[in-house]
Amino acid sequence: MWMAGMRQPGLFQRHGVFRRRRSYARRQFRERLFAFLRRNWRVLLAYVAICVVSVIPPSMFLSGYLRGFVHGAMTVAAVAAVGLLFLLYTGSSRELSGAYGEDNTREVLRVAKRRRHVWGWVDNLEVAATSTTSS
């Protein structure tokens, strides 16, 4: 049990608020995503407008749950298309794979510690603005 004033592992303080430390690959991925959205917001806004206009004709002939299904399917398709466009355009699939790998390694080490195969481990050892995964 953590008492007041004690620092929990994996937390750091920024602007007076404790936040959970994120992995290097996840931070890089998020930074690239936001940069992509800021750089291409006009094109993405036009794409969303085209999606909205293209869903209006089917909506006029449908009613009830089917209309909601079409709206939901179009929304999911639009968000997935933007995500796929981001991955293909920026080449950020490596950062995404790195984030998945770090999460998987962390989970495996957590199970190994519970089974007492290891004593402990270090997450996200960053050296010169790059990440060294747990080993």
Give pLDDT, residue 81. 93
Give pLDDT, residue 35. 93
CB 32 within 8 A of CB 91: no
3-state helix, strand, coil in the chain (%, to 5): 65, 10, 25
CB 25 within 8 A of CB 63: no
Confidence bin at 1 (pLDDT 50/70/90): very low
**What is the tens place of the pLDDT at every residue in 38-82?**
999 999 999 999 988 998 888 888 888 999 999 999 999 999 999
Closest listed residue to residue 123, CA positions, set 107, 96, 97: 107
CB 126 within 8 A of CB 28: no
pTM of the predicted protein model: 0.64
**84-93 in b/e burial notation, b at 16+ Cβ within 10 A?**
eebbeeeebe
CA 51 – CA 45 distance, rounded (Å): 10
Please report how the helices 24-39 and 93-114 are oriented relative to each other, as an axis angle in degrees rounded to 10. 150
What average pLDDT does the structure give for the chain?
A: 80
